[in-house]
């Protein structure tokens, strides 16, 4: 049977990870989350996109899932998404001290093309113009492309390589 291929629209960029036992402490899980944010934003920039929503989902060994999201000005700036990541972890810690984390995921949503982003009079920012933080993020991407993934990072994180990322 011939099944027609239809054009798809990218809904978001994300990463999730089932954590191995040595990464399940909430503090280490937080650092793995930072690594996941860096990976997702690098892919976002590589595709020439911006995201206007950040989501965090944390699943616990004892059961239950904590999931929240926040909106922002459409951006591809890693530092902004890392600040949103931290803000959501702070909300999690304030609501209840988390126990061992079994898995976590980050998602960048409300995705659009950078070339279609509107300007902002208050920043000031022209349509499709890169912010200072976005230019810094791109520079880090170029350094990592030249010298190896993770040669330079946005602060502390903990890579959690899986089967396909080893080597």
**pLDDT in tens for each of the 167 residues of the chain?**
888 888 777 789 999 999 999 999 999 999 999 999 999 999 999 999 999 999 999 999 999 999 999 999 999 999 999 999 999 999 999 987 789 999 999 999 999 999 999 988 888 889 999 999 999 999 999 999 999 888 888 888 888 876 545 43
| pTM (2 d.p.) | 0.89
Q: Is 16 helix (H, G, I), strand (E, B) or coil?
A: strand
Tell me the torsion sign for CA atoms 102, 40, 92, 109: negative
* Distance from C-alpha of 30 to C-alpha of 156, rounded to nearest angstrom: 10
Alpha carbon of residue 30 to chain centroid: 12
Which residue, among 98, 117, 114, has the nearest Cα to 56 in the 3D structure?
98
Alpha carbon of residue 103 to chain centroid: 15
Output the six-digit token pair for 89. 């972890």
Which residue, among 128, 143, 137, 103, has the nearest Cα to 21 in the 3D structure?
103
Q: Is 124 left (phi over 0), alpha (psi -120 to 50) or beta?
A: beta
Specify the pLDDT at position 162.
65
């Amino acid at each position: 049977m011939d099944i027609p291929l239809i054009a798809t629209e990218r809904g978001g960029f994300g990463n999730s990870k089932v954590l191995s036992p040595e990464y399940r402490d909430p503090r280490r899980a937080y650092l793995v989350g930072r690594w996941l944010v860096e990976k997702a934003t690098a892919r976002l920039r590589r595709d020439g996109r911006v995201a206007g929503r950040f989501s965090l989902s944390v699943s616990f060994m004892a059961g239950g899932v904590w999931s929240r999201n926040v909106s922002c000005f459409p951006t591809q700036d890693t530092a902004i998404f890392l600040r949103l990541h931290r803000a959501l972890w702070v909300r999690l810690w304030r609501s209840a001290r988390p126990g061992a984390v079994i898995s976590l995921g980050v998602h960048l949503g409300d995705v659009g093309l950078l070339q279609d982003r509107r300007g902002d009079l208050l920043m000031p920012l022209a349509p499709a113009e890169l912010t200072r933080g976005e230019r810094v993020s791109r520079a880090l991407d170029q350094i990592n492309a030249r010298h190896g993934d993770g040669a330079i990072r946005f602060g502390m994180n903990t890579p959690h390589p899986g089967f396909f990322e080893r080597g």
